[in-house]
A = this chain, B = another copy of it.
Amino acid sequence: MKLIDGKAIANQIKKEIAQEVMQIKAAGGKTPHLAAVLVGHDGGSETYVANKVRSCEEVGFKSTLIRYEDDVTEAELLACVDRLNKDADIDGFIVQLPLPSHISEEKVIESIDYRKDVDGFHPVNVGRMSLGMPSFLSATPAGIVELLKRYEIETRGKHCVILGRSNIVGKPVSMLMMQKGYPGDCTVTVCHSRTQNIKEICLQADIIIAALGVPEFLKGDMVKEGVVVIDVGTTRVPNTNTKSGFKLTGDVAFNEVSPKCSHITPVPGGVGPMTIVSLLRNTLLAGKKAIYS
């Protein structure tokens, strides 16, 4: 069993990005600039955005954090998006989700100029990804595919079973895994809460991508020998033994499943660290105008 070290790969890619940014600057090019919009004071969102801003600095990007209180109006937020769309110095920006319930997330995402949509959530980027055209890939699917690539895991002709059909993981990663070429060319099955024989299907899988958000859903008796398991789950399960009072728990019962795996991602330290790297890469691509001119 080989542990897929997402943290090490993420650090490696950050170094690669930092090096490219140095070269760009040395050649007199523009420093990539990411802006993040954070509404309210949700603990998770605060942490994510702080990590994103810190990572930008690590690789030499310029970053801007724009904060609003919970009571910001939709109109104010849309006006902010409009300003960022027009600001020539900003290469890409994200609006951290979730937003307060009085604001339409759909409307906000659609108002972002897709050429600056480094989260890859805009319909244009989702559509282009699905069609196999160049696009900003959303962070988690891109991170998963990158891990498979860096560990040279064979995907061609393999049966990839995806647990979960969310817009941010299950659906897009299913499109990427069935795409022609490598990593891709998988037979892809998408399972979800309505699936009836999920154990039977998982037992057929060469690769399982678990993104249900159900802690330790995938048990040892649901996988075959030699399977590759990518665990996207990150549920905060209350735990009295940790300082924070919770333990980040994946969708995979790691102790049972890992002995049967050829490769497996841990939680934390697997897919998680890769998501920020995907965002950095998209920002770099945006800065270079590599996808949209």
Give the B-binding residues of A (Cβ under 8 A).
Answer: 106, 122-128, 130-133, 156-157, 159, 165, 167, 171-172, 174-175, 178-180, 185-192, 194-197, 201
Contacts and interface: CB of A to CB of B under 8 A. Distances in A.
22 contacts: A123-B126, A123-B131, A123-B133, A124-B124, A124-B127, A126-B128, A126-B130, A130-B130, A130-B171, A130-B172, A130-B175, A131-B171, A157-B194, A157-B196, A159-B196, A171-B175, A178-B192, A186-B194, A187-B190, A187-B191, A187-B196, A188-B190
Contacts of A197: 159
A184 to B, nearest CB: 9
Contacts of A196: 157, 159, 187
B157 A178 contact: no
Contacts of A131: 123, 126, 167, 171
A201 B187 contact: yes
A108 to B, nearest CB: 14
Contacts of A186: 194
Given A122-B127, A126-B131, A128-B123, A187 B192 contact: yes
Given A167-B132, A189-B188, A156 B126 contact: no
Contacts of A191: 187
A157 B195 contact: yes
Q: Which 6 A-B pairs have the closest CB atoms?
A: A127-B127, A123-B127, A126-B127, A189-B189, A187-B195, A185-B194
A191 B158 CA distance: 11
Contacts of A190: 174, 178, 187-189
Given A171-B175, A188-B189, A189-B188, A194 B156 contact: yes
A161 B201 CA distance: 13
Given A130-B171, A186-B194, 19 more contacts: A123-B123, A123-B128, A126-B126, A126-B131, A127-B130, A130-B167, A157-B194, A157-B195, A157-B196, A165-B180, A174-B174, A174-B190, A178-B192, A187-B189, A187-B194, A187-B195, A188-B189, A188-B190, A189-B189
